[in-house]
């Protein structure tokens, strides 16, 4: 009998399950808003012009493919670090930030979870309710008991700040708290500066360990603006970890390219953490991939290429914002006047407030696919589908 005879299949990933249904749908008007990828005005995942230019140059050079170091290319790590913490960060100069190349934002959390696990007194973690599902899965795999803190306030279309602060106040010292730096996935609601200050104060007082997930740098207000909270926490002397990703802002989803950054108390602690990070990388996948790292390093270290890339990030951000506005305009035109809150959200996603049943009606009656929880990828809207989607939402609400 096969070793796998008694193995039960894991439940279908809800997002990939949606895509399956979408692919089978033969309606010409169908729209997939379940995805987590930015699409351009023609509905395609873009290859950025800057990336293409650099790729052509790399091809022409015909570079060999040796193993990179376990923690990634040093030049890459330096550039990734500057993008998150600012080129003139005193903490970088003091050598107290350990940065390692990771397999996207997912890999950043995987490595961080292993290092936390080696240091953690209680193996407890809290994530926002709701959050990106992999936060829970990855921490559980590393041996953590994962609970939630209150976050989404459906009635007020925003963040339940009192609930959040109360739940963090009740957390045991050493608990890992996962927070989204910007463009909260799935809700689209972010913390204000004052709310972040209150979280930072609690983290200090209660000795909580923050993991700040920044998968969407540049998609809310700007590359520097979106990293502002992290830079303030560093200036305030907090020690914490950041996961950053180039999947979205370089449109390099399939290259698995990101970074994990440990903000340590001093350079000595940083060296010890670095050895743990290398071990975590080696035991998980040995060494990270080269291609995406070479592309990102070349762009970030060249003034002209970098400027061109910043323009492309700006264009993606502006396009998403214009689609939010167009959706709200379309809803207004279709007689729905209480969904202005979509314009107060940030990033690729919108919690639109529809029920599970309404989301199913959207699929069956109108061929518009979002998640059961009401998450729509506004970055997949375009001038050709936005009015259709607005009319469909209006119809299922009536």
- Give catalytic residues, as residue numbers: 132, 213, 248
Q: How many residues make contact with ligand PLP (CB under 6 A)?
A: 12
Does position 247 bind ligand PLP by CB under 6 A? yes
Does position 375 bind ligand PLP by CB under 6 A? no
Per-residue DSSP letter, 254? G
Report the C-alpha gap between 183 and 190 in whole angstroms. 6
Does position 370 bind ligand PLP by CB under 6 A? no
- Residue 322 CB, shortest distance to ligand PLP, in Å, is 22
SS3 261: strand
Count of alpha carbons within 13 angstroms of residue 214, beta-carbon side: 32
Confirm if 274 and 237 have CB atoms less than 8 A apart.
no
- Residue 109 CB, shortest distance to ligand PLP, in Å, is 7
329 exposed, middle or buried (CB, 10 Å; 0-12, 13-18, 19+)? middle
With tokens 């240091």, the residue in question is: 119
In sign, the C-alpha dihedral spanning 299, 304, 306, 309 is negative
Count of alpha carbons within 13 angstroms of residue 390, beta-carbon side: 26
Near ligand PLP by CB under 6 A: residue from 30, 96, 180, 274: 180
Q: Which is nearer to ligand PLP, 185 or 382 (CB)?
A: 185
- Residue 248 CB, shortest distance to ligand PLP, in Å, is 7
Q: Which is nearer to ligand PLP, 299 or 396 (CB)?
A: 299
Stretch that binds ligand PLP, among 8-16, 101-109, 162-170, 321-329 (CB under 6 A): 101-109
Does position 105 bind ligand PLP by CB under 6 A? yes
Report the C-alpha gap between 397 and 384 in whole angstroms. 22
Residue span 23-62 as binding mask against ligand PLP, x where in contact by CB under 6 A, dash where not: -------------x--------------------------
Stretch that binds ligand PLP, among 49-57, 99-107, 327-335, 357-365 (CB under 6 A): 99-107
- The pair of three-digit structure tokens given for residue 333, joined into one six-digit string: 């035109």
Near ligand PLP by CB under 6 A: residue from 81, 120, 185, 371: 185
In sign, the C-alpha dihedral spanning 61, 294, 48, 31 is positive
Site residues, ligand PLP (CB under 6 A): 36, 104-106, 132, 180, 185, 213, 215, 245, 247, 258
């Amino acid at each position: 009998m096969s070793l796998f005879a008694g193995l039960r299949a894991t439940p279908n990933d809800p997002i990939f399950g949606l895509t399956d249904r979408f692919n089978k749908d033969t309606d010409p008007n169908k729209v997939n808003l379940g995805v987590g990828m930015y699409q351009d005005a023609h509905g395609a995942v873009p290859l950025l012009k800057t990336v293409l230019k650099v790729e052509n140059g790399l091809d022409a050079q015909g570079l060999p493919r040796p193993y990179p170091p376990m923690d990634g290319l040093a030049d890459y790590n330096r550039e990734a670090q500057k993008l998150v913490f600012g080129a003139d960060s005193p903490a970088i100069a003091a050598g107290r930030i350990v940065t390692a190349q990771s397999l996207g934002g997912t890999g950043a959390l995987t490595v961080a979870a292993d290092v936390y696990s080696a240091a953690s007194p209680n193996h407890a973690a809290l994530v926002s309710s709701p959050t990106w599902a992999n936060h829970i899965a990855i921490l559980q795999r590393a041996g953590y008991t994962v609970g939630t803190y209150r976050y989404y306030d459906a009635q007020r279309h925003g963040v339940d700040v009192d609930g959040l602060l109360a739940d963090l106040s009740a957390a045991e010292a050493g608990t890992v708290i996962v927070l989204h730096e910007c463009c909260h996935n799935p809700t689209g609601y972010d913390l204000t500066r004052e709310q972040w200050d209150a979280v930072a104060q609690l983290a200090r007082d209660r000795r909580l360990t923050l993991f700040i997930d920044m998968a969407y740098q540049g998609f809310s207000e700007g590359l520097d603006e979106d990293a502002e909270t992290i830079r303030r926490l560093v200036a305030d002397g907090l020690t914490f970890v950041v996961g950053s990703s180039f999947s979205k802002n370089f449109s390099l989803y399939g290259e698995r390219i990101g970074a994990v950054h440990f903000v340590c108390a001093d350079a000595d602690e940083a060296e010890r953490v670095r050895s743990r990070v290398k071990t975590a990388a080696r035991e998980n996948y040995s060494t990270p991939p080269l291609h995406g790292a070479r592309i990102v390093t070349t762009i970030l270290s060249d003034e002209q290429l970098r400027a061109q890339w910043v323009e492309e990030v700006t264009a993606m951000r502006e396009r998403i914002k214009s689609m939010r506005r167009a959706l709200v305009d379309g809803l207004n035109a279709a007689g729905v006047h209480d969904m202005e809150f979509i314009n107060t959200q940030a990033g690729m996603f919108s919690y639109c407030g529809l029920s599970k049943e309404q989301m199913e009606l959207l699929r069956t009656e109108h061929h518009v696919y979002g998640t059961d929880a009401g998450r729509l990828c506004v970055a997949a809207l375009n001038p050709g589908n936005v009015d259709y989607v607005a009319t469909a939402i209006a119809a299922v609400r009536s």
